[in-house]
Amino acid sequence: MTPGTPMTDRTVVVGAALLDGGQLLAARRSAPADLAGRWELPGGKVEPGERPEDALVRELREELGIEAEAVERVPGQWPLRAPYVLQVWTARLRPGSPAPRPLQDHDELRWLTPDRIWEVDWLDQDVPAVREVSPRLTTGPR
């Protein structure tokens, strides 16, 4: 962001580093065409007045049909196409949640073990976020 750009020009996109049993969930986008086939952290845009953690829970319910909770913010934020910035939270499934299914925006989901985290074709702009998340796969969400 250039100096003097009002903070309100940014829209936060929340991404979930959903961790379960030492694995990270990656989701393959089905749209729009320029992002389709690439992998991302599931999530979406925070609505005006909404807490990012609440947006994350809402998006994961809509997109994956799961009941999840945000655990902690992963430090940093990463620019997407203006005016969006990506912020990431670790997240976990609530007890009794259904397993994730690609209901909306995605056509495939994959649980990645730490040694396989780079086997999917992450969106370029997600790579630094995934790099930040990867050490947490061995420690798990706190």
Ligand X SMILES: Nc1nc2c([nH]c(=O)n2[C@H]2C[C@H](O)[C@@H](COP(=O)(O)OP(=O)(O)OP(=O)(O)O)O2)c(=O)[nH]1
- Using CB under 6 A, list all residues that contact ligand X: 13, 15, 35, 40-41, 43-45, 80, 84, 86, 105, 123, 125-126
Nearer to ligand X, 96 or 109 (CB): 109
> Is 125 strand, coil or helix?
helix
Token output for 107: 């056509």
- Minimum Å distance from CB 126 to ligand X? 5
CA distance 50 to 56: 10
Nearer to ligand X, 128 or 141 (CB): 128
Nearer to ligand X, 38 or 92 (CB): 38
- Minimum Å distance from CB 104 to ligand X? 8
Residue 68 has, within 13 A of its CA and on its CB side, a CA count of 33
Phi-psi region of 81 (alpha: psi -120 to 50; beta: other; left: phi over 0): beta
